Amino acid sequence: MQNRREFIGTLGAAVAAAGTVRADGKPVAREELGAERLRIGLLADIHLTVEGHRTYFEKALRDFDKWKCDGVLICGDIADYGLQQQLKYVADAWWSVFPDGKGSDGRPVANLIHYGDHDSATWYDKRVEYPKVLGGADERDSLLFYGENHKKYWEMYFHEPFSYYQVKTVKGYTFILNHFRRGTPDNREGNNAPGLEELVAGLKLDPDKPFFYSQHRPARDTNYLPGTWGQDAGDTTRIFSKYPNAVFLSGHIHRSLFDDRSMWQGAFNSVQVPSLSYNCTRPGRENSYAPEDRPAHAPFQTMPRIPVHTGKDRHGIFMTVYEKGIVFKRWNFATDVSLGEYWVVPFSSFRLPPDKKPYSPKVRAKTCPVPQFAPGAEVSVAFTEGEDRSKAKHRFFQVEFPPARTAARADEYSVTLELRRCDLVRTLVERRVFAPDYMTGVADPATPVTCRFPEADVPEGWDLRFVVRPMNAYAVAGIRQGAPSAVNAVKAPESL
């Protein structure tokens, strides 16, 4: 037995039924949705850099074709370095899967692709690989952002007229596409939407029927918490708050589809479409990978970041519009697995007050399935050595436990160090961690979830225990009913 004794806890099973939900939290029956009307594939941030990247893009398009899509919408960042050569890779893949704009069974498939900020990129010229990617071509002629190239190459490769706002109708449903632009006096950073309010008002849209708007950057103060990077300036939130039937589709954030908050309802409806290239986590976790985790060696990063850029997290959505609602299927095209329950948005929810809609954060926090450990799950602690994110060596308490999948798959885990003193239990430290399969959806049952606590976190000579709770995306934790705990004095060994 180690000097620092091993703790074992059984974390109980509990409730929260999985399944699609509506405003009252009950499952939606298929017949409630009515007849099927429209099928659209949703992607974002495909980031094609070299021709070889066509492979994963074409895989997603072929899956959409297999599912009989009526169109494919891509929320920007298609040409990674903003080069016309890369735009051509996108177009070549499109036409190879949908020749003449038709699927394999001859049905029309609408091109609902638009530009993102990378498609206006001018910042790659200092990278060592840039000359190779440029391939000897003239830089000014290659940059989509230069002169009239945005328009010129779009029309050359996609064989349709270009304008920064494009309005298309697919099987009777309106799609408004906003190509990312920047550098103009009214939109220097690309975060505004000049002229959009007048455009939408002029369309005379049916208030009883959903319409779809897509831009690259997400609407401010919608899907994620305040302070999340990359949101627009707020124009669109103000504009679409007048349209409860608006469905706002955006990219840019690269947030894993396991984050249930990617589906949001307030004054309108917003869907954060993940990246087909690579994805991120929420910040502040021991193994998180997020733009907000700066400086790079933050005190909470005691573990290497969760694996990204591996080609195993190519996320996307398949949207089916029915007579009375919309269903969003979350999918990993690299592993061909579902990334959580389907989201179901009844049209009747459009008329509800914003905080009563089924995917408002307030309601969803109550209805989102709560994960639980299987009965008899064991939590163990080992004293070990390792490196933190900055490569600094430490001695750690490494807490290990099986993934929680009862009732629902855990979004993340809260691991706390508790001190007991007579009738008082105090939480000394809490750390959060993602499971190894957070990006892929494919888990090895033999691989435990781990969380590290530096030796300095754990005082000697007290009655201590580590407690683990699985959480959903709204930080609602699984219940520990009757979980036994081993409470022991703790002392570190002199050496391992």
Q: What percent of the chain has pLDDT over 70?
A: 90
Phi/psi at 164 (nearest 5 deg)? -65, -30
The answer, yes or no, to whether residue 482 has pLDDT greater than 70, is no
Position 392 confidence tier, pLDDT thresholds 50, 70, 90: confident
Distance CA 387, CA 133 (A): 35
Q: What would the two tokens of residue 476 be?
A: 């609602």
Q: What would the two tokens of residue 236 be?
A: 């669109």
Position 480 confidence tier, pLDDT thresholds 50, 70, 90: low
pTM over 0.75: yes
Q: Which of 71-80, 94-103, 121-130 has the lowest mean pLDDT?
A: 121-130
In the prediction, which pLDDT does 27 show? 67
Q: What would the two tokens of residue 396 be?
A: 């750690």
Position 351 confidence tier, pLDDT thresholds 50, 70, 90: very high
Distance CA 333, CA 278 (A): 12
The answer, yes or no, to whether residue 418 has pLDDT greater than 70, is yes
Distance CA 409, CA 340 (A): 8
The answer, yes or no, to whether residue 487 has pLDDT greater than 70, is no
The top-scoring range by mean pLDDT among 139-153, 405-419, 475-489 is: 139-153
Distance CA 213, CA 336 (A): 28
- Domain 1-18+369-496 matches domain 30-278+313-367 at the CATH topology level: no
Residue type, 329: K
Return the DSSP state at 218. Answer: P
The residue ranking higher by pLDDT, 433 or 380, is: 433
Q: Which of 3-12, 219-228, 265-274 has the lowest mean pLDDT?
A: 3-12
The answer, yes or no, to whether residue 160 has pLDDT greater than 90, is yes
**What is the rounded average pLDDT of the residues 429-458?**
89
Distance CA 430, CA 433 (A): 10
Distance CA 134, CA 131 (A): 5
What is the distance in angstroms between the CA of the first residue and the CA of the last residue of the chain? 13
In the prediction, which pLDDT does 358 show? 94
**What is the rounded average pLDDT of the residues 163-172?**
97
Position 411 confidence tier, pLDDT thresholds 50, 70, 90: very high
In the prediction, which pLDDT does 12 show? 21
Q: Which of 78-92, 387-401, 470-484 has the lowest mean pLDDT?
A: 470-484
Nearest by Cα to 231 from 248, 244, 250: 250
Which residues does residue 248 pair with via DSSP β-bridges, in sequence order? 213, 270
Mean pLDDT score of the chain:
88
**What is the rounded average pLDDT of the residues 85-102?**
98
In the prediction, which pLDDT does 227 show? 65
Place of tokens 């499971």: 435
In the prediction, which pLDDT does 168 show? 98
The residue ranking higher by pLDDT, 480 or 59, is: 59
Distance CA 43, CA 57 (A): 9
List, in order, residues 6 or more apart from 131 with CB less than 8 Å away.
none
**What is the rounded average pLDDT of the residues 391-411?**
89
Of the candidate CATH numbers 3.40.109.10, 3.40.50.2000, 2.60.40.10, 3.30.1490.20, the domain formed by 1-18+369-496 belongs to 2.60.40.10
Q: CB 459: neighbour CB atoms within 10 A?
A: 11
The top-scoring range by mean pLDDT among 53-62, 129-138, 290-299 is: 53-62
Are 41 and 318 spatial neighbours (Cβ–Cβ below 8 Å)?
A: yes
List, in order, residues 6 or more apart from 80 with CB less than 8 Å away.
47, 48, 49, 86, 118, 121
Q: At what angle do helices 84-97 and 149-158 cross, to 10 degrees?
A: 20
Q: Which of 117-126, 319-328, 400-409, 440-449 has the lowest mean pLDDT?
A: 440-449
Distances 64 to 67, 88, 226, 329 between C-alpha atoms, Å: 5, 21, 34, 12
The answer, yes or no, to whether residue 28 has pLDDT greater than 80, is no
Tell me the three-class secondary structure of 466-495, residue by residue.
EEEEEECCCCCECCCCCCCCCCECCCCCCC
The answer, yes or no, to whether residue 129 has pLDDT greater than 90, is yes
Question: Which residue ranges make up each domain of the chain?
Answer: 1-18+369-496, 30-278+313-367
Burial class (CB in 10 A: 0-12, 13-18, 19+), 373: buried
Largest CA distance in the chain: 76
Please give the sequence-ordered ranges of beta strands (E in DSSP) within 323-448, or none if there are none. Answer: 325-332, 337-338, 343-346, 380-387, 393-401, 412-421, 424-433
Place of tokens 């939606």: 28
Query: Which overall architecture, per CATH, does domain 30-278+313-367 show?
Result: 4-Layer Sandwich (3.60)
Place of tokens 């594939």: 41
Q: CB 125: neighbour CB atoms within 10 A?
A: 12
In the prediction, which pLDDT does 17 show? 25
**What is the rounded average pLDDT of the residues 450-475?**
90
Position 212 confidence tier, pLDDT thresholds 50, 70, 90: very high
